[in-house]
Amino acid sequence: MDSISIQLPASKSISNRVLILNALTNWKLNLINLSEAKDTKDLYECLQSDKEVLDIGEGATSLRFLLAFLCYKNQVKTIFCGPSLKIRPIQTLLKVLNEFHCEFEYLEENGKLPVKIVQGIHGNCPEEIQIDTSISSQFVSAMLLIAPYLKNGLKIQFTNQIVSEPYINMTLKLMQHFGVQFIKNLSSIQVFSGKYQMLDYRIDSDWSSASFFYAWLALQDSGSMYFPGLKMSGLQGDEVIASFFLNFGIESIIEADGIHIIKNESLLPDAIDFDFTNCPDLFPPICMFCAIRKIISTFRGLQHLVHKESNRLKILNDFLSVQSVEIKLYENDSRQLTGFYRMDLFNSNIEKVYSAHMDHRIAMAFSLLNVIRKIEIVNPEVVNKSFPGYWEAFNKVCK
């Protein structure tokens, strides 16, 4: 396989955060290479809209950030969303906003969208709050982004285990870049009041999207790919994918304008053990790769996969079970899935057609099956949520 240049999308996670910062500065930041993902476009349109009724689509990050922002602005708005987002957790953030005297009217079911913001943040607000960080880091990030604009700043105390902590760190690093000061320790973050500075900012390419191409190259005998705009800056937690695939012969070479990856000969490890607590989006490509490569694998930190666009744990569990993969799934004392798979069998007689389950990362994970045989994915356009050009890029590597 010849060297192939893959144009990855800009990071959706970074884009959504800096969009909120830009809105808080009344659109005075110069953002370069903003993501074209549908989630980011939906957030941008909602932030720019003068309408009283908004539709945030299917983006959980977009919704949570938008809700906190609109409440800070004390704007009376009604927010609608797509069907899968209706069932994703939002109650933790709503509870926190209630502490800031926000009032909501639920149009269908209590604590779920669609919701009308009747009253935003006002009055004497708490200077310290607690947030349950065991379900999503986005509740913390949503409050962090508006925290400098609160009269006395805000101190956030964490309760329970923190999941996806690199995304909280991403939020803080971006806030720091734009001039906000904070103090972070193991159990809390203190954000001081201030304003975001008007600076230029270029959004890096997305590591979550790169992970599927790392997996594809690792399934080949040889080859190389180049990702312009991809950087190892420490900002995106999913950079860890480079270290993971180093075990499978994928060397990542940092260049001036991107990253070049090369497949070298290597011995497959007998078994691996990987914790997804801080990088849940890497579970679909790593899980599928290990199944195809017949790597005995122990996967931990899977408890919050049930709260994604789909129940990714169940979907991949069901798929692998049909393929005669030996699977054991354990639960810890709190009945949360801590995860693990033992995979040492794989039946190559796979089906020809697969449902994406309206989940962009499930669609991308199933695309890796093309290394075994040509398959078709129902509703392939679901990848537009994060990577509109995925199929064009994937077809380049399949040639």
Of the candidates 388, 62, 17, the one whose C-alpha atom is nearest the C-alpha of residue 201 is 17
Annotation marks residue 257 as catalytic: no
For the chain, the helix, strand and coil percentages under 3-state DSSP, each to the nearest 5 = 40, 20, 40
Amino acid at 274: F
What phi and psi, each to the nearest 5 degrees, are found at residue 364? -65, -35
Cα separation, 329 vs 317, whole angstroms: 9
Q: Which DSSP helix (H) or strand (E) runs through 67?
A: helix 60-73
Cα separation, 40 vs 13, whole angstroms: 9
Cα separation, 93 vs 59, whole angstroms: 15
Write out the two tokens for 338. 């801590």
Looking at 39, 42, 206, 281, which residue is catalytic? 281
Q: Are 283 and 365 in contact (CB under 8 A)?
A: no
Spatial neighbors of 30 by CB under 8 A, at least 6 apart, are: 199, 200, 201
Cα separation, 69 vs 20, whole angstroms: 7
Would you give the DSSP letter of residue 147? G
Q: Are 279 and 262 in contact (CB under 8 A)?
A: no
Name the CA dihedral angle for 356, 361, 364, 365, rounded to a multiple of 10 degrees. -90
Q: Which DSSP helix (H) or strand (E) runs through 131?
A: strand 128-132
Q: Are 391 and 380 in contact (CB under 8 A)?
A: yes
CA angle 267, 268, 272 (to 5 degrees): 140
Write out the two tokens for 296. 């005995």
Q: Which DSSP helix (H) or strand (E) runs through 112?
A: none
C-alpha distance from residue 294 to each of 269, 346, 368 (Å): 10, 6, 14
Q: How many angstroms from the chain centroid is the CA of residue 6?
A: 20
Q: Which residues pair with 79 in a beta bridge?
A: 54, 115
Q: List the catalytic residues.
A: 281
